Amino acid sequence: MKYRPIDSQLFVHHRERLRALLPPKSLVILHANDVPSTNADGTARFRQNSDLFFLSGVDQEETVLILFPDAPDEKHREMLFVRETNDHIKVWEGAKLTKDQATEVSGINEVHWLEEFSKHFRMLMIQADTVYLNTNEHPRAEIHAESREMRFVHECQRAYPLHRYERLAPLISGLRQIKQPQEIDLIKEACEITKKGFLRLLSFVKPGVGEWEIEAELAHEFLRHRSNHFAYEPIIASGVGSCALHYLSNDQVCQDGEVLLLDVAAEYANYNSDLTRTIPVNGKFTDRQRQVYDAVLRVFRQAVSWMQPGTVIKPYQEEVGKLVEAELIELGLLDADEVKDQDPDKPLYKKYFMHGTAHHLGLDVHDVGDTWRPMEPGMVFTCEPGIYVPDEGFGIRLENDILITDTGNIDLMESIPIEADEIESLMRQG
């Protein structure tokens, strides 16, 4: 991996937190993600199962983690199974983790080769009463292919139908929402890499530049600072493309007088950042673009101030919607009388601001989390209001990453330029 080694005590601590939630004689099993196939003999980039990484730090395919805190034999209380390097693997893929390296990464002393898993697994299942298996329970997930974990769930329940089975996802989701100091440092590193990429663009963007060229500049900057890849598919949307929330084509030429919406960010050590900025292609917002920009920025500032311990996402987002509604009236995009008579279940502002304002951030960009759980110290959220006016050919969105603390919040991207005057000034210098 490109990132620097992570202190294994982080993962030791995560496992301790999980053990404290388990009833007696519980067995926990997690599997690595599959290496996804594409076409012919091709494969896509491997991305580790976030929950397995959270508990072990192992960033390698075909890995299995077993936790059995009440195992009679101490050696069976934490077991890691990894892929053994053979001559073929060494030539075609390069060496995999040795047992000693896997221990160094994870803090787990009992490391075995994967082919030994079945033998140990049967013995442990016979000793356990409750089995915790993992599945993807993210509410926005659209799952069309059976994962390695789901295949194991079916195999396990078929072979051992009389055990008591429980869902691991709610337990890990609850733990992952509260970031530990070392995790926050990794997210900060991702934010810092993202900042470097954005500053590079301010001196690069101009009329005639292709969106794909901007993507290449970001990829260069991210990789040179040890990011494995973009945190998510980059949105580099000029002109009316800035009104498409998940515009991914990145194939247009930026034109004079347009805005460029950049929803682009780096990951670092599997932890993610999430940034959106909207800049003028020629370095100067038009009067109308500046009106809308300033309106979104006002909403952003107020929305961030509301991100405090005890805030609940669902009602919070409704209040942010009211802020946008007031700005849209001032901009002449909504009629105040029509707003008074609107259906409260179908607010008119959603024509111009149709997405949520905040989501959890961490090992996944749209990280696991309960939107009805009040904000707590250690949680990290995005704040991303926007106003999109396709009839006028542009949209504005602004987004930073916010850490909740005991005394309020910390903007992890506070040092990344967001004021229109500062952005214009930096673009002139370029």
Q: Catalytic residues, which ones?
A: 41, 246, 263, 274, 355, 359, 366, 384, 388, 397, 399
- Count other C-beta atoms under 10 Å from residue 295's C-beta: 21
Element (H, E) at 421: helix 420-429
Alpha carbons within 13 A on the beta-carbon side of 206: 7
Residue in the structure block whose two tokens are 């060496």: 95
Write the CB contacts of 242 (distance below 8 Å, at least 6 apart in sequence).
Answer: 259, 260, 261, 278, 388, 394, 395, 396, 397
Element (H, E) at 249: none
Give the pairing type, strands 164-167 and 111-113.
unpaired
Sign (positive/negative) of CA torsion 87, 93, 94, 98?
A: negative
- Which one, of 74, 73, 54, lies nearest residue 63 by Cα? 54
Q: How far apart are CA 209 and CA 252, in angstroms?
A: 9
- Strand order of the sheet with strand 276-280? 235-238, 259-263, 276-280
Q: How far apart are CA 246 and CA 310, in angstroms?
A: 31
Whether the Cβ atoms of residue 187 and residue 272 lie closer than 8 Å to each other:
yes
Whether the Cβ atoms of residue 387 and residue 408 lie closer than 8 Å to each other:
no
